[in-house]
Amino acid sequence: METITYKRVYVWELPVRIFHWINAIAITVLAVTGFIMADPPAILSNAEASDSYWFGTVRFIHFMTAYIFFFNLILRVYWSFVGNRFASWKAFFPFSKKSWRNFLHVLKVDILLGHEKHPEITDLSVGHNSVAGLSYFILFLLALVQVFTGFGLYSAMSDWWLPDLFEWVVPLFGGDFIVRTIHHISTWLFILFVLIHVYLVFYHDWLEGRGEVSSIFGGYKFVVGQRVKHKKTEEEKKDTEDAK
């Protein structure tokens, strides 16, 4: 049986990994505090209102995390122009012929669980596969929806120019009701995304064994050796010449 050699490839740069985890934590915190704000649990207390502020604190955490989520998103957009090819904005759209082929491959093999008749080693993508890339772009749009509706709802409470930039959102839709509804529904779409995203990461890790899960911690993935162009060292060059 042939041996497969893997090479360790640096895929996710540190800013990408930091973005990912801040984003993940922020989304979790925002969703949890958001649901608490939408339907606060019954906490019966004999304390005077003047002595407690827990609901105000929950809202404060939500708004604070929203800022973190927003700035984190902006930094990631910046990095998509200066980062490596896997962080590039181009990685999110199946525009090129190559990535379109990959898109169809992923649909066929990973989503519909079919089999490629003539598998190629380039079928396995190193960074995001094309379907995942597009799904992250959709998530990005969803994040924008949350930013616009969220800051739109928040702007009435704020004097700072940044949230006030979104003052027009509520009038555009007619009122807080509908904006709140959009904000609320989008949260559910985030939850659905997270479910699918986490599942597929484990799926790829289990079936391909290339360190899919650990890559978002350490940044490295394992790639079939043949795909890595080998720059020969001086010593190896000598060896091949000797063999001749």
Partner 1 sequence: MITKDKTKQSTYYESIIKQGYSRRDFMKFVTYISAYLGLENSMVGQVAKALETSYRVPVIWEHFQECTCCSESFIRSDHPIVADIILDKISLDYTLTLMAASGHQAEAAKKATMDNYKGEYILCVEGSVPMGDDGNYCCIGGRSAKDILLEAAEGAKAIICWGSCACNGCVQAAYPNPTEATPIHKIIKNKPIVRVPGCPPIGEVMAGVIVHLVAFGRLPELDRIGRPKAFYSKRVHDTCYRRPYYDAGLFVESFDDENAKKGYCLYKVGCKGPMTYNACGAMKWNNGVSFPIQSGHGCFGCSEENFWDNGPIYERLTGLHGFGIESSADTIGKVAAGAVAGGLAAHAIAANISKKKELKESISRGKRNEKALDS
Binding site for partner 1 (CB under 8 A): 1, 38-40, 42-45, 47, 49-56, 58, 113-115, 156-157, 167-168, 171, 174-178, 180-181, 184-185, 187-188, 191-192, 195-196, 199, 203, 207, 209
Cβ distance to partner 1 smaller for residue 125 or 186: 186
Cβ distance to partner 1 smaller for residue 71 or 199: 199
Q: How far is the CB of 244 from partner 1 (least distance, A)?
A: 34
Quick check: helix, strand or coil at residue 10?
strand
Cβ distance to partner 1 smaller for residue 88 or 187: 187
Q: How far is the CB of 166 from partner 1 (least distance, A)?
A: 12
Cβ distance to partner 1 smaller for residue 52 or 96: 52
Q: How far is the CB of 145 from partner 1 (least distance, A)?
A: 14
DSSP count for the chain of H helices, then E strands: 9, 2
Listed in sequence order, the DSSP H helices in the chain are 14-38, 54-82, 97-106, 130-154, 161-164, 169-173, 176-208, 212-218, 234-243
Cα separation, 154 vs 160, in Å, equals: 11
Cβ distance to partner 1 smaller for residue 73 or 153: 153
Do residues 221 and 212 lie in contact, with contact meaning Cβ atoms separated by under 8 Å?
yes
Mention every residue, 6+ apart, whose C-beta is less than 8 A from residue 139: 190, 193
Q: How far is the CB of 236 from partner 1 (least distance, A)?
A: 26
Find the length of the chain. Answer: 244
